[in-house]
Amino acid sequence: MLITSLLPLLARYSLGFDLVAGPDETVTLTIIPRKADPKSPALDSGEARPISITASAAEIDAELGRGVEGALGQLIATRKTLADQIAAQRQADEDAKVAAAEAAKAKAAKTTAAKPPAPTIPPKIQTPTRPPADARPEEPATLF
């Protein structure tokens, strides 16, 4: 029943198990989610948190026997929902980045097309070729 309960997690993660015997015939079963694909994004802390059950071996077997209705089954279903939400948010973020980049390209192209070409010939400045009519040769010319 353990593997059947874990199938929803196995679709998305690689799982590690740790079994530890405790006092008074208790057992601690820890299930550790890991990235299944090295190319996939890093797991969020909520996804990577280990699932730990401490009880007697008979109680753990009985809980696992309940399947999807048991605590482990419900926890796994909740984690799967969380992982689906995170994946959807990542995809929405990626789509928004692509849309923003395309909008920026379109705006840049529109701005470039709307600008008039820069003049290549500098404007001519009219400089006087003759001194003013009231200028005297013994005095320097003034701008005031």
Residue with the bigger pLDDT between 116 and 49: it is 49
- Tell me, yes or no, whether 140 lies in a domain: no
Distance (Å) of CA 112 to CA 11, 48, 108, 117, 143: 49, 48, 6, 10, 43
- Tell me, yes or no, whether 51 lies in a domain: yes
Q: Is the pLDDT of residue 123 over 90?
A: no
Torsion angle of the four alpha carbons 16, 34, 45, 92, in this order, in degrees rounded to the nearest 10: -150
Share above pLDDT 90 across residues of the chain, in percent, rounded to a whole number: 12
- Tell me, yes or no, whether 111 lies in a domain: no
- Tell me, yes or no, whether 75 lies in a domain: yes
- Tell me, yes or no, whether 104 lies in a domain: no
Could you report the per-residue pLDDT of 100-115, keeping only the tens digit for each?
999 888 888 877 766 6
The domain tally of the chain equals 1
Range of the domain at 46: 2-94
Residue 1: band (very low, low, confident or very high) from pLDDT cuts 50, 70, 90: low
- Tell me, yes or no, whether 54 lies in a domain: yes
Choose the most confident range, by mean pLDDT, from 78-92, 105-119, 121-135.
78-92
Q: Is the pLDDT of residue 46 over 60?
A: yes
Lowest mean pLDDT, pick from 46-50, 95-99, 132-136 = 132-136
Q: What was the pLDDT predicted at 92?
A: 92
- Tell me, yes or no, whether 118 lies in a domain: no
Q: What was the pLDDT predicted at 98?
A: 92
Which residues are 17's β-sheet partners? Answer: 31
Q: Is the pLDDT of residue 96 over 90?
A: yes
Residue 71 tokens read as 């605590």
Pairing of strands 26-35, 51-56: antiparallel
The residue whose two tokens read 């959807």 is 88
Question: How does DSSP assign 68-114, residue by residue?
Answer: GGSHHHHHHHHHHHHHHHHHHHHHHHHHHHHHHHHHHHHHHHHHHHH
Residue 45 tokens read as 């802390």
- Tell me, yes or no, whether 124 lies in a domain: no
119: left (phi over 0), alpha (psi -120 to 50) or beta: beta
